[in-house]
Amino acid sequence: MGAVFLVRRCGTYKMLTCAQCGQEAEDTGKFCRNCGARLHAPAEEATTWHLQPNTEGTLNRPSTAPVRPATTGQPNQATGPAYVPPSDYYQPLQQYPPVPPPAPSPRQASIALGDWLYGGWRLYSANWAVMSVGAVLGTFISLCSAGLLAGPILMGMYRMAFKAMKQETPEMSDLFNWEGKFLPAVLAFIIFVVLWYAVSALGSGHEVFWLLSFVVHPLLHIAFSLTLPMISEGRSDLAGAINSVGRLIFSKDAVMWWVVGLAFIILSYSGLVACGLGVFITFPWIICAAAVAYASIFGFDDPGRTMQ
């Protein structure tokens, strides 16, 4: 504007002299209080340029190449060991030895000797051929093995009787189908034979001991007749089977069990009267009767079974 400004510092402010009227004014003011003239020259306004976008460069720009995936390969140096959690982070499950199944408890069933003998005869008469041939073959094998295979063979006879009770057809191969129970059957036969002969030797010395053997032998016979089926069914191990059957036999019904054992012994060996061949009828018959007695006392896994 061609105005001349005089600047003079006064205290903390700069004093200006108005070029129009000569009146002094502070630097912070914009106009003179005397004449109203502008104290500062107006700053030049910046020129604003409006540019148009360049579309030609975008159209002529070459397309970019596709991005290539990074190449993978073996690392230049070996990696460190894998992370292993602390020992208390994970506790593996403890392995326990298999526990043998508990021996089955006897049912609240009454001793029915007549029903057991009748049911056993029905089972035998329906399968008399295979049962009698199995008894002959089993006796021959037991004699040839010096009694070592007598226990497993008897267990096979019980298996044949159980199949007949389940409305299945027993086969000769069932006589040798021991399913890993060979050793328990052998040990059970040896245990009862040793007890039998021990009581017999004790009874040969005096009349009183003979009476004792007469009392004990039927109980041992029925106990053995119920122990082998329990082992055959896999319901318990040898010790559990003997314990369960022993508690059943030597109880308040011991007298009735003694009668059952005596009847089984007499009927089993009654066939020896007919030239010895009748034993191959009476023996499998009593095997079937013992199987019926076991099923009525302990039961077995056949919920659909019905006895007519």
Highest mean pLDDT among 43-57, 202-216, 247-261: 247-261
Q: Across residues 199-228, what is the average pLDDT?
A: 83
Is-above-0.85 flag for pTM? Answer: no
Which residues on adjacent β-strands are paired with residue 31? Answer: 38
User: Exposed/middle/buried for 129, CB within 10 Å: 0-12, 13-18, 19+?
Assistant: exposed
Residue 24's pLDDT is what? 74
To which H or E segment does residue 260 belong? helix 254-269
Query: Which stretches of the chain are assigned E, i.e. beta strand?
Result: 6-10, 13-17, 24-26
Residue 188's pLDDT is what? 94
Q: Is the Cβ–Cβ distance between 120 and 292 less than 8 Å?
A: yes
Residue 159's pLDDT is what? 92
- Percentage of the chain beyond pLDDT 90 is 39
Domain boundaries, the chain: 1-40, 113-297
Spatial distance between the Cα atoms of 308 and 299, rounded to a whole number of angstroms: 17
Q: Across residues 119-137, what is the average pLDDT?
A: 94
Q: Across residues 110-126, what is the average pLDDT?
A: 93
Helix-strand-coil percent breakdown of the chain, rounded to 5?
50, 5, 45
Here the tokens at position 195 are 């007890």
The amino acid present at 147, given as its one-letter code, is G
Range scoring the smallest mean pLDDT among 22-31, 153-162, 265-274: 22-31
Residue 307's pLDDT is what? 38
